[in-house]
Homo-oligomer: A and B are copies of this chain.
Amino acid sequence: MPKFPPAIQELADKFNRFPGIGAKTAERFVFYLLGQPRQDLEKISSLIATLKDKVTLCSVCFNFSDQDPCPICSDAARNRSVICVIAKPQDLAVIENTGEYSGLYHVLGGNLNAIKGIVPEKIRIKELIRRVAEDGGLKEIIIATNHDLEGETTALYLLKTLKPSRLKITRLARGLPMGSDLEYADEITVSSALKERKEIR
């Protein structure tokens, strides 16, 4: 006998494919939805159905947006001499939230990963090269890919590829995160924090 009616099981199977969601949590989602008012389910349903129509990729920076170019690329008040290169759109939100950055972005759409077959042609590196070549006012590229194997590989590849451009190329600082305890920090982080220590008087 099947555990649940087909309508529950089918939806749970779909939720099960969501990132990080196991079979039990997927079932919990369906039971949660069963407890919600009908109009809420209709709202969620229509948001999902129209998602891809309402969200497009900005043809300049490749961030998800509801207009093209996106509000950031078309904002005259932004500093157009610097591009921050990030792996995915979520990273953009994190940098925007700091309020410390007013330049432009370039979303690669992933990091290089030889094992997963993500070669340079699969992420938006040539689009970045084109932006760099076409934009004479550009002064700096900030490489903000993750500080892990894939992110570092991507950063190294970008550094090599962008070398002929004579632009200033920077990377987000490595060090101890705010609120961290030295005792539990890993050796690479502490070693980076030591190497890049800052004079304070």
Interface of A toward B, CB cutoff 8 Å: 1, 3-8, 10-11, 14, 18-20, 25, 27-34, 38, 40-52, 54-55, 64-66, 71-72, 88-90, 93, 96-97
> Are the C-beta atoms of A7 and B50 separated by less than 8 Å?
yes
> Are the C-beta atoms of A47 and B11 separated by less than 8 Å?
yes
- Residues of A contacting B: mostly: helix
Query: In the bound complex, what is the Cα–Cα distance between A170 and B66 (angstroms)?
Result: 59
Contact of A28 among B7, B30, B46, B90 (CB under 8 A): B90
Given A20-B28, A30-B51, are A5 and B64 also a contact pair (CB < 8 Å)?
Answer: yes
> Are the C-beta atoms of B1 and A72 separated by less than 8 Å?
yes
- On chain B, the residues within 8 Å of A20 by CB distance are 25, 28
Query: In the bound complex, what is the Cα–Cα distance between A11 and B54 (angstroms)?
Result: 12
Query: In the bound complex, what is the Cα–Cα distance between A50 and B45 (angstroms)?
Result: 9
